[in-house]
Amino acid sequence: MSTFAFDTITVPEHLHGYPGVAYGGYVAGLLAGRSAAETVRVDFRRPVPTETPVRLAGTPEGGCALTDGELLLAAATPTAFEVTDTPGAPSWERASAAAEAYRAAPPDGQVDCFGCGLDRTPATGLRLHCGVVPGREMVATAWTPGRELGGADGLLPAELVWGALDCPGNAAGRLLDDRPAGAVTAALTARLLRPVRVGEGLVSYAWLLSGSGRKYTVGTALATADGELCAVGEALWVQPRG
């Protein structure tokens, strides 16, 4: 891997999922941005620390890898992914109601996550407070990214669009399949379909695909308030042992 260009990156602490651990969707988006493909799968091998320089380098397969010394932390690989089976987004009103229900009675085990922390503001987090959508086997939230999260072009950076596909998977496991707190993203595959502007209303949602033992797989998507898909993904989540 030494023959490929590399960068040293440091994820700031405020971009954490669990304390001291970089937010998985953000890290996946960083790696995907270095991969020469429309659709990318990112596999997490070890927690990515915050406030610690780590190395991001290209791979012969057209992907990239994130390492800490000799330890592989995460790897991105170009892949194929079908978007035809993505269910339609719930309405803004139904997603808003689901989010309000979640905030009124959140499950135990909440942490100050950049993606779903309850105390984050639109300027300091994504506020992906996914609740169950009545009558549909999915969780969803309505949210509006603060302008402070955008770039000079007024767009939400790609790594934060990836982030919008992460936490909903945790909520799907907990609220649709009675999974305990503490699960982690083991893999996230995504395709970005259109630019996302900050300050516009968005709907993030997720649904269960399968589950076995400590693992479960979810579909996840991001749409505009009027239902136009912005990004789609699939994630593998794993509950830690005992």
Cβ atoms 205, 229 nearer than 8 A: no
**pLDDT tier at 237 (50, 70, 90 boundaries)?**
very high
* Helix (H) or strand (E) run with residue 185 in it: strand 184-192
95 DSSP 8-state letter = H
Structure tokens, 59: 């791979």
For the chain, give every domain's residue range.
6-78, 92-238
Question: What pLDDT score was predicted for residue 37?
Answer: 85
- From CA 71, how far away is CA 45, in angstroms rounded? 9
Query: Nearest to residue 222, comparing CAs of 210, 206, 237?
Result: 206
pLDDT of 220 over the 90 cut:
yes
> Which amino acid is present at 169?
G
Q: For 101-127, what is the mean pLDDT?
A: 94
Lowest mean pLDDT among 4-8, 35-39, 218-222: 4-8
Question: What pLDDT score was predicted for residue 22?
Answer: 98
Taking every pair of Cα atoms in the chain, the longest distance, rounded to a whole number of angstroms, is: 53
Contacts of 122 (CB under 8 A, 6+ apart): 143, 144, 145, 146, 148, 149
pLDDT of 125 over the 60 cut:
yes
pTM score:
0.95
Q: Convert the pLDDT of each residue in 34-80 to its tens digit.
A: 887 889 999 999 999 999 999 999 888 889 999 999 999 999 999 98
Question: What pLDDT score was predicted for residue 81?
Answer: 77
Structure tokens, 188: 């996230």
Question: What pLDDT score was predicted for residue 242?
Answer: 67
Q: For 181-208, what is the mean pLDDT?
A: 96
Fold for domain 6-78?
Thiol Ester Dehydrase; Chain A (3.10.129)
Q: For 111-118, what is the mean pLDDT?
A: 96
What would the CATH number be for the domain defined by 92-238? 3.10.129.10
pLDDT of 194 over the 80 cut:
yes
Cβ atoms 56, 9 nearer than 8 A: yes
Matching fold, domains 6-78 and 92-238:
yes
pLDDT of 84 over the 70 cut:
no
Question: What pLDDT score was predicted for residue 98?
Answer: 98
